[in-house]
Amino acid sequence: MLCMSSQEPASIGVRPDGRPLRVGIVCPYSFETPGGVQNHIRDFSEALMRRGHHVSVFAPGRRTKDMPLWVQTNGSSFAIPYNGSWAHLSYFLAAGLQTRRWVRQGQFDIVHLHEPEAPSVSHKPLVMRGAPPMVATFHASIEPYPRALHLFQRYLHSYLEPLSEAIFVSPSAQRTADHYLPASISRHVIPNGINRASYLRAHPDERWRGTPKHPTIGFLGRLEEERKGFPIFVEAASRVLERHPGARFLVVGDGGDEAAKAIAERDGGAALLERFEFLGRVDDDAKARFYKSLDVYVAPQTGGESFGIVLAEAMAAGCPIVASDLPAFVDVTEQGRDAALFANRDAADCAERICELLADPSLRTRLGKAGLRRSGDFDWETIVDEVLAVYRRALSAQPGALS
């Protein structure tokens, strides 16, 4: 079992004896496909290792070349539609045996489960006898809560009983989990984190930088997923072009070919398509430069967002944001003080907000500065301390758990 840590522990401070913690993290989704939960676990693990702790992650699916050595996989996964997206999970008998064996062999001080309510490997340690203290992070936000899911509430309620502490990435994620989480479990809202410094130090990329005549307006996300709102971005773009014919629309994410085809098939689609540039999936450095270069970043997501990590990233780059008024986005932007919000699914309103920002550089500067300040609340360096405080509580509630 490979558990990694950095060489020089700065401050450990969770175990009474000052030794580093051994933390086992279970991710329900395969690392073969990128996603918010996987990125969160990767960045959190790296931040814990920078503090000197030992971390090992278990996830479904196969190993890929670029996967860190501290991620272990169980070799298989299957895809199901989940919360407006496709999730690559692993659930059946072997998955349970493999996960529990991994927990036993890891001799962890703490086991940290992500989305233990999802039918995947992070569900499995909950039935173990003699398991270390278990903390869970709940990411999902499903509002309004569907009637069909009420059927599972009683089952989940008793299944989740062994958890020591629960973390929610936002108040909206807590409202969802409150439907099935036993009242006895302590609750903490701790947001998703970002590597803020990487956005602060990024430089704009000349290819993507706007000018007053040719401002650049960006979208980032999985284009083929309805809930990421790309069709709303396209509709808003066509309206913005009526007032700013030189505007360029830069798009990062998988699914560019299909999305370009759909634009070309619209009335007047060929002219609209000329104003779009599909950049495909980019690496994290290019992503930071992308946010840094834009005049406006647009987040037109229509639902299923538990937090809105992309907003936090754009804020850290000082990029002014136009976003839909989903509950999670309202929270991240402090009730809209740090971004211009539009009525969810309303492309005309979205275009209006974009045009207001394009017409008013001082408004863009004000929102960029407000976002930059707000992004400090999501820096991993702060968030890790908050999670370690939760680990400390879980360990002190089970004093015999530490070896």
Ligand X SMILES: Nc1nc2c(ncn2[C@@H]2O[C@H](COP(=O)(O)OP(=O)(O)O[C@H]3O[C@H](CO)[C@@H](O)[C@H](O)[C@@H]3O)[C@@H](O)[C@H]2O)c(=O)[nH]1
Footprint of ligand X (CB under 6 A): 34-37, 39-40, 85, 139, 169, 192, 220-221, 252-253, 281-284, 287, 305-310, 313, 328
Closest to 228 in 3D by CA, of 28, 79, 37, 83:
83
Cβ-contact 189, 396 below 8 angstroms: no
What minimum distance in Å lies between the beta carbon of 35 and ligand X?
Answer: 4
What minimum distance in Å lies between the beta carbon of 342 and ligand X?
Answer: 17
Cα–Cα distance measured from residue 113 to residue 341, given in angstroms and rounded to the nearest whole number = 33
State which residue, 46 or 356, has the beta carbon closest to ligand X.
46
Cα–Cα distance measured from residue 197 to residue 15, given in angstroms and rounded to the nearest whole number = 28
What minimum distance in Å lies between the beta carbon of 34 and ligand X?
Answer: 5
State which residue, 70 or 278, has the beta carbon closest to ligand X.
278
State which residue, 58 or 168, has the beta carbon closest to ligand X.
168
State which residue, 123 or 287, has the beta carbon closest to ligand X.
287
Residue type, 160: L
State which residue, 210 or 221, has the beta carbon closest to ligand X.
221
What minimum distance in Å lies between the beta carbon of 168 and ligand X?
Answer: 10
Residue type, 386: E
State which residue, 224 or 356, has the beta carbon closest to ligand X.
224
The torsion angles phi and psi of 56, rounded to 5 degrees, stand at -135, 140
The token pair that represents 30 in the structure block: 């395969």
C-alpha R_g of the chain: 22
SS3 (DSSP) at 393: helix
What minimum distance in Å lies between the beta carbon of 228 and ligand X?
Answer: 6
Residue type, 170: S
State which residue, 6 or 39, has the beta carbon closest to ligand X.
39
State which residue, 54 or 222, has the beta carbon closest to ligand X.
222
DSSP at 19: P
What minimum distance in Å lies between the beta carbon of 399 and ligand X?
Answer: 32
The torsion angles phi and psi of 148, rounded to 5 degrees, stand at -60, -35
| Token pair 């962890």: residue | 108
What minimum distance in Å lies between the beta carbon of 158 and ligand X?
Answer: 26
- Whole-Å CA distances, 170 to 182, 193, 195: 18, 12, 18
| Token pair 């996960």: residue | 99
Question: Is the Cα torsion angle 355, 361, 362, 363 positive or negative in sign?
Answer: positive
Q: Taking the C-alpha atoms of 106, 116, 300 and 276 in order, what is their torsion angle to the nearest 10 degrees? A: 40
What minimum distance in Å lies between the beta carbon of 277 and ligand X?
Answer: 14
**Omega before residue 144 within 30° of 0, cis:** yes
Q: Is 69 exposed, middle or buried (0-12, 13-18, 19+ CB in 10 A)?
A: exposed
What minimum distance in Å lies between the beta carbon of 39 and ligand X?
Answer: 5
State which residue, 167 or 357, has the beta carbon closest to ligand X.
167
Cα–Cα distance measured from residue 315 to residue 229, given in angstroms and rounded to the nearest whole number = 20
State which residue, 45 or 192, has the beta carbon closest to ligand X.
192
What minimum distance in Å lies between the beta carbon of 326 and ligand X?
Answer: 9
User: Which residue number has the CB closest to ligand X?
Assistant: 36
Widest pairwise Cα distance in the chain: 69
